[in-house]
Chain A
Amino acid sequence: DGGITQSPKYLFRKEGQNVTLSCEQNLNHDAMYWYRQDPGQGLRLIYYSQIVNDFQKGDIAEGYSVSREKKESFPLTVTSAQKNPTAFYLCASHKQGADEQFFGPGTRLTVL
C-alpha cells in the first residue's frame, strides 16, 4: 500500500518549543517538498529536496529546518524562531522525470 504518510495529524506546541513533523513515503520518489497553508491561502514552499543529503530553501524557510538522510524520509523541524507557526503543513513528493506532485494528509500545528 504505497503512499505518503505524515505524523502526527494534529500537533500542539507551546511558545518557545521546537517540534518535528514527520513525512515518510514508500513510492520510491526522488524529490520531496514541504509546504505551509494558512486559512484562505495557497500553498507556500518551505523547503525541498531532490536527492538524499541535499535540500534547498523555499520562499519561507526562516524558522524551519529539514534533513534528508534517507530517500523515504524528509522531516521538518519548526523552531522557536518561527514567529507564526500555526498552520496546516503539507508534505509532497514526486518521481524524477515526472512533474506531478502527490501530497500526504497533512499535519495541523497549533501554537498555544
Chain B
Amino acid sequence: QKEVEQNSGPLSVPEGAIASLNCTYSDRGSQSFFWYRQYSGKSPELIMFIYSNGDKEDGRFTAQLNKASQYVSLLIRDSQPSDSATYLCAVNADSGTALIFGKGTTLSVSS
C-alpha cells in the first residue's frame, strides 16, 4: 500500500514567519512530488512540483526533496494570513498515473 503521510496540524505561525510543512512517502520508486493548497470548501490548487533532489524556489515558496529519506517539504517565507489553508502533498510513481495524496496539513497564519 503506497502511502503519503502528513502531520494534520494545525500549524500556527505569526505573520511574517516561515512556515514549514512536511511530508513522507512510502514508495521509494516515486518520481514526482506536488504541493497543493486547498482553501476551505474549494478545490486544490497546484503550488509547486519537484522531481529532483534539492530545493526548488518559486517566489515565497520553496519545495525541498530528499529521496534517500523519502521526504519532501514546503517552506513558505514571509507567511501571510492569506496563506491560511490546508496544504496537500501528493506523489506519483510513474508518469501518467494517478497521484497519491496525503491527508493534508492545516496552516493558520495569524496577523
Within 8 Å by CB of B46, from A44, A48, A102, A106, lies A102
Contact A42 B49 (CB under 8 A): no
Q: How many residues on chain A are close to B (CB under 8 Å)?
A: 23
Contact B103 A40 (CB under 8 A): yes
Contact A100 B98 (CB under 8 A): no
- B101 proximity list for chain A (CB < 8 A): 35, 42-44
Q: For window 27-72 of chain A, which residues contact chain B by CB distance below 8 Å?
A: 31, 33, 35, 40-45, 48, 50, 58
Contact B103 A101 (CB under 8 A): no
Contact B96 A100 (CB under 8 A): no
- A41 proximity list for chain B (CB < 8 A): 103
Q: How many residues on chain B are close to A (CB under 8 Å)?
A: 22
Q: For window 22-62 of chain B, which residues contact chain A by CB distance below 8 Å?
A: 31-32, 34, 42-46, 49
CA distance A44 to B3 in the complex (A): 11
Contact A42 B103 (CB under 8 A): yes
- Tell me the interface secondary structure of chain B in the complex: loop
Tell me how many residue pairs across A and B have CB atoms closer than 8 Å. Answer: 48
Q: For window 56-111 of chain B, which residues contact chain A by CB distance below 8 Å?
A: 88, 90, 92, 95-96, 98-99, 101-104
A96: interface (CB < 8 Å): yes
- B42 proximity list for chain A (CB < 8 A): 105-106
B20: interface (CB < 8 Å): no
Contact B43 A99 (CB under 8 A): no
Contacts A43-B101, A99-B32 given: A31-B96 contact, CB under 8 Å? yes
**Nearest 10 interchain pairs by C-beta:** A42-B101, A42-B103, A103-B43, A43-B101, A99-B32, A106-B43, A45-B98, A48-B98, A103-B44, A105-B43
14 A-B residue pairs with Cβ-Cβ distance under 8 Å, sorted by A, are: A42-B4, A43-B99, A43-B101, A44-B101, A48-B98, A50-B96, A58-B98, A99-B31, A99-B32, A99-B95, A100-B49, A101-B99, A103-B45, A106-B42
